[in-house]
Amino acid sequence: MSPVGGRPAPVRTEVRDQTLVITLDRPEARNAVDAAVAAGVAEALDHLDATAELRVGVLTGAGGTFCSGMDLKAFLAGESPMVEGRGLAGLTQRAPEKPLIAAVEGWALAGGFEIALACDLVVAAEDARFGVPEVKRGLVAAAGAALRLPELLPLPIALELLLTGDPVDARRAADLGLVNRVVPTGLALEAALELAARIAANGPLAVAASRRIARASRGWSNEEQWQRQEEVTLPVLLSEDAQEGPRAFAEKRAPRWQGR
């Protein structure tokens, strides 16, 4: 993102092969989300979705912290860390169309945890800590945690996190199913990029359809789920990529995906 007023941009982007790395870069504020961060993340996610060569996004934080949540000082000064229709950091209410992986070092606290929950996958360093301490401040974790944690966890466990505000470490988060992989401290981004490369190697239409079904099907009734799934998968089955995949397998070569 471009610097504003001579200051370094609070969100940096970098292309690694077919992956867009999005870095929250306010280490002096533990990568807390202010208006500039929210706008920067939204712009980066739009770029991810609009660029055919990019297949996956990785979201991380600079300086050994993922994100400490909303910048309370900026909020009290009148700034909003929300983007209209997209939520906190331009992400929590509306995810990008392409897979997004959180690479978490250090704290993912309050809104920072909610940002991680909005991602599709989470890679965490051993020193990572996750928590929603809003109740300790008389607030509610309303940027996604109060909605998503009961979907992802047994209700008593979700309520323990929401009502005590106490954090959990990376291993506990992994045991609960909130984290995909736990890696040595300092290697979260590297491990997330490896995971992103494995996703990017697959057929982009198939990846998009699989993700869409997995995300949307919780709201489908038993009567409609097979019909809704067919609506999503039929264009993939009729695509050129669906011919290329089996052909490449038979010819013992890597597939050349066209995304059509």
| Catalytic option among 79, 114, 190, 231 | 114
**Active-site entry in 134, 160, 194, 224:** 134
How far is it, in rounded angstroms, from Cα 47 to Cα 45? 5
Extract long-range pairs of 241-250: CB within 8 Å, 24+ residues apart: 241/203, 241/204, 241/205, 241/206, 242/203, 242/205, 242/206, 244/203, 245/203, 245/206
Contact 70, 88 (CB under 8 A): yes
Is 134 designated active site? yes
DSSP three-state, residue 5: coil
Quick check: is 224 catalytic?
no
Strand order in the sheet with 129-131: 107-109, 129-131, 168-169
* Contacts of the segment 34-37: beta carbons below 8 A, 24+ positions apart: 34/10, 34/71, 34/74, 34/75, 34/79, 34/81, 35/74, 35/79, 35/80, 35/81, 36/4, 36/10, 36/11, 37/10, 37/11, 37/71, 37/81, 37/89
Q: Write out the catalytic residue numbers.
A: 114, 134
